[in-house]
Structure 1
Amino acid sequence: MKFVDEYREPQKAEILLIEIEKISKTLNKHVKIMEVCGGHTHSIFKYGIEEVLPNNIELIHGPGCPVCVMPRGKLDDAISIAKHNNVILTTFGDTMRVPGSKLSLLQAKAEGADIRMVYSPLDSLKIAKENPDKEIVFFGIGFETTAPSTAFTILQAAAENINNFSMFCNHVLVIPALKALLDNPDLQLDGFIGPGHVSMVIGCKPYEFISQQYHKPIVISGFEPIDILQSIWMLLKQLTENRCQVESQYTRIVTHEGNQNALKAINEVFEVRDNFEWRGLGNIPNSGLQISDQYAQFDAELKFSTPNNQVADNKACQCGEILKGVLKPWQCKVFGTACTPENPIGTCMVSSEGACAAYYKYGRFAKAFSQLKVDENKVIA
């Protein structure tokens, strides 16, 4: 299959690993690379990439999981909307199991709220057409990847004059989050594996501040094992050559300027919020989207009253530190014991892009493997 099989060839992976090993020895330092996107985290564990890298190359898992960064208060707000009379709340499947302060959306549904899983916001629009006597609310989340689909849905609703449809907008922006991470003195990074899906929309240009202001290299990557290995090699090559540039390994999808039609829809329908709360990262200025005044009739925040409270995370959960890259999932005290995919305490264990879910599904023995490598090095020394 084009663009799949050729990016999973063992021979290509072996050549890249040999080259990565060579460069890592010339660097003579511990290198920390953050993969921003949760999709990359899952690929890294699915294909065992972290286990075959040289010991001085460490991959740090970033905040690029839209479900994981959603604060508990926003889930409470969504549930409060769902409990209004004649409301049908729709959202993506991952969001259904994220715990709020008391309930998840799935638990609220079990208690009688009409909450439905959809695959696209257009499905919500279809439900609105089929239920003219109900108010249909789409709980919109995600980075710039999913923002265009919700923007186009609102444009479609406006064109068809569907007045019983609205959106609870919780879209977030990747660039302010990266800036917040770079400003964090606790997190010393040497480079970034840039998010492929987000970059498909926004392009390469918005990342230039990383190289120009913070002097860090970034390589936008695809999601297959060869993609990720090649991106790591490209980053290491920049480090050895003392370069700091924005490069794209994912050239088959990502362009420098991005998807102009998608960006136009986003800019027409949304405007940037002054502040948005991120789980683990706190309030980040200009990091979220809200529906613009032009399309205010589709804004669920204006149609319905919500608690709008800031809710602290469960004290046992360390999702915040994991999202910031300060801790690895297995360092959380409840990982794999009290917190599992079947009984999640935090969002990182819920989402299909969450770092904890990736560790649990693919990397449960990674800690033991890493410790074995450390012990072997001590014996050799």
Structure 2
Amino acid sequence: MKYVDEYRDGKLAREIAERIRSEALPSRQYNLMEFCGGHTHAIFRYGIPDLLPDNVNMVHGPGCPVCVLPISRLDTAIELAVTHNVILCSYGDMMRVPGSRKRSLLKARAEGADVRMVYSSMDALKLAQDNPDREVVFFAIGFETTTPPTALVIHQAKKLGVKNFSVFCNHVLTPAAISSILDSPEAGALGLLKLDGFVGPAHVSTVIGSQPYERFAVEYSKPIVIAGFEPLDLLQAILMLIRQVNEGRAEVENEFSRAVTRQGNERAKQIVDETFEERDSFEWRGLGFVPRSALQIRAEFAEFDAEKRFPVEYRSSAENSACLCGPILHGVKSPRDCTLFGGACTPENPLGPCMVSSEGACAAYYSYGRHQESLIAKESA
């Protein structure tokens, strides 16, 4: 198969779905977590839940980089723009995420802060070159997929001698988040479903490879199947997980072999290691403080670290008590469980990041019609 259309073949999709139905044992429940927010959207976009038997349950994980960023870090970015009068550059998904007192980057810009949307870290560096009299800060977020470009732009800034450019680093690590979900003492108390396996992320795995997941299979006896984003990718990954569970196996399998290797992208990993080091701890929305789960800029590049260049004060910020983004990211709750979903909280008026981000679970439910089922269920109740 070489072309995208072949991975969207309806006849083949129905055939794989029929295999899933025939091989899923009626006597047991299969709870499978797709870690990546991109997978969540693909699952709903292609109607995959409607193809699965009732005892195969997809649980949505914390693989949305916008969603997992806590309010305190967003508030700090806003403080950089407002208090320190920098040009703050951000990816578009972050612009509408509500921080404390429902204040977002977009609202800060409306109030006079110089906040600009960029498509890449290099756009932010270009802004710094074009505005030598202004400090420019790139608000860097994301998992291992977006970390190499941030590393590259820091190296480029040093090479070019750009003195008015820095990075507010919020890059987080996938394996640490999976560990947190499996180790969480709160999971049982919150009613987290027993997870039988994981659909491993696609883009992240092209960088880090499949090897980092192997310890989850060994230490936790959890099967992982790395999958692409097309409907046949996801259905095949679900079938592979069901087979592992049925056979009592716990292995890392790579359905996305056309893009992912065991070792990953060695050059990308090298430049990340040269530029960043692990933080001792980092706060995640929904997961709390997770040890060694995020990156910070190494001392050799301290001149490009916004946290060292500007005096910023971190304040613990309370989440909206009615918003269930945290439990949704933890896999404890579904968007259907949130009383705000589809009513007070919509893509036009988001009250939490899961409704804002293009990879958020709430946005996926809403965009692809699952919210209609939620509203019908609430009305009938």
Task: Report the TM-score when normalising by structure 1.
Answer: 0.95
Q: Is the contact made by 1:329 and 1:356 (CA closer than 8 Å) also made in structure 2?
A: yes
Alignment root-mean-square deviation, CA: 1.5
Aligned to 2:312: 306
1:242 to 234, 244, 248: 248
2:276 to 270, 278, 294: 270
Query: Deviation at 1:279?
Result: 0.4
Number of paired residues? 370
Mapped to 2, the partners of 1:228 and 1:261 lie a distance apart of 28
Q: Is the contact made by 2:342 and 2:375 (CA closer than 8 Å) also made in structure 1?
A: no
Aligned to 1:220: 226
Q: Is the contact made by 1:51 and 1:369 (CA closer than 8 Å) also made in structure 2?
A: no
- What is the identity, as a one-letter code, of the residue corresponding to 2:110? A
Aligned to 1:295: 301
Mapped to 2, the partners of 1:285 and 1:23 lie a distance apart of 39
- What is the identity, as a one-letter code, of the residue corresponding to 2:44? F
Q: Residue deviations 1:5-29, cap 9 Å, x none?
A: 010001110110111011113x620
* Bigger Cα displacement from structure 2, 62-71 vs 181-190: 181-190
- What is the identity, as a one-letter code, of the residue corresponding to 2:293? S
- Tell me whether 1:145 sits opposite 2:145 in the alignment: yes
Aligned to 1:364: 371
Aligned to 1:127: 127
Aligned to 2:170: 170
Q: Give the secondary structure class of the aligned counterpart of 1:182.
A: helix
Aligned to 2:15: 15
Q: Residue deviations 1:270-322, cap 9 Å, x none?
A: 01000000001000000011000000000000111222112110011011000
- Tell me whether 1:100 sits opposite 2:107 in the alignment: no
- What is the identity, as a one-letter code, of the residue corresponding to 2:371? R
Q: Is the contact made by 1:51 and 1:366 (CA closer than 8 Å) also made in structure 2?
A: no
- What is the identity, as a one-letter code, of the residue corresponding to 1:303? R
- Tell me whether 1:87 sits opposite 2:94 in the alignment: no
Q: Give the secondary structure class of the aligned counterpart of 1:306.
A: coil
Mapped to 1, the partners of 2:292 and 2:3 lie a distance apart of 36
Q: Structure 1 residues 58, 366: CA separation in 2 closer, same or farther (over 3 Å shift)?
A: farther
2:328 to 309, 312, 322: 322
Q: Give the secondary structure class of the aligned counterpart of 2:199.
A: strand
Mapped to 1, the partners of 2:117 and 2:62 lie a distance apart of 24
Aligned to 2:76: 77
Aligned to 1:29: 28
Query: Deviation at 1:163?
Result: 1.0
Mapped to 1, the partners of 2:253 and 2:374 lie a distance apart of 31
Aligned to 1:379: none
Query: Deviation at 1:86?
Result: 4.6
Query: Deviation at 1:209?
Result: 1.2
- Tell me whether 1:5 sits opposite 2:1 in the alignment: no
Mapped to 2, the partners of 1:58 and 1:246 lie a distance apart of 20
Aligned to 2:238: 232
Mapped to 1, the partners of 2:85 and 2:291 lie a distance apart of 35
Q: Give the secondary structure class of the aligned counterpart of 1:119.
A: coil
Gaps of 5+ in 1: 372-381
* Bigger Cα displacement from structure 2, 111-120 vs 27-36: 27-36
- What is the identity, as a one-letter code, of the residue corresponding to 1:45? F
Q: Is the contact made by 2:85 and 2:113 (CA closer than 8 Å) also made in structure 1?
A: no
Query: Deviation at 1:258?
Result: 0.5
Q: Is the contact made by 1:51 and 1:370 (CA closer than 8 Å) also made in structure 2?
A: no
Mapped to 2, the partners of 1:339 and 1:311 lie a distance apart of 20
Mapped to 2, the partners of 1:180 and 1:5 lie a distance apart of 37
Mapped to 2, the partners of 1:78 and 1:45 lie a distance apart of 32
Mapped to 1, the partners of 2:183 and 2:66 lie a distance apart of 23
Query: Deviation at 1:369?
Result: 9.2
- What is the identity, as a one-letter code, of the residue corresponding to 2:223? P
- Tell me whether 1:354 sits opposite 2:353 in the alignment: no
2:210 to 200, 204, 207: 204
1:258 to 247, 256, 264: 264
Q: Give the secondary structure class of the aligned counterpart of 1:317.
A: coil
Q: Give the secondary structure class of the aligned counterpart of 1:277.
A: strand
Query: Deviation at 1:370?
Result: 9.3
Mapped to 2, the partners of 1:302 and 1:280 lie a distance apart of 27
Mapped to 2, the partners of 1:254 and 1:368 lie a distance apart of 39
- What is the identity, as a one-letter code, of the residue corresponding to 1:353? E
Query: Deviation at 1:52?
Result: 1.6
Aligned to 2:179: 179
Q: Give the secondary structure class of the aligned counterpart of 1:128.
A: helix
Mapped to 1, the partners of 2:238 and 2:74 lie a distance apart of 36
Aligned to 2:46: 47
Query: Deviation at 1:97?
Result: 0.5
Aligned to 1:191: 197
Mapped to 1, the partners of 2:17 and 2:377 lie a distance apart of 17
Query: Deviation at 1:330?
Result: 1.2
- What is the identity, as a one-letter code, of the residue corresponding to 1:36? F
- What is the identity, as a one-letter code, of the residue corresponding to 1:322? I
Task: Report the TM-score when normalising by structure 2.
Answer: 0.95
Q: Give the secondary structure class of the aligned counterpart of 1:177.
A: helix
Q: Structure 1 residues 85, 189: CA separation in 2 closer, same or farther (over 3 Å shift)?
A: closer
- What is the identity, as a one-letter code, of the residue corresponding to 1:40? H
Q: Give the secondary structure class of the aligned counterpart of 1:309.
A: coil
- What is the identity, as a one-letter code, of the residue corresponding to 2:365? Y
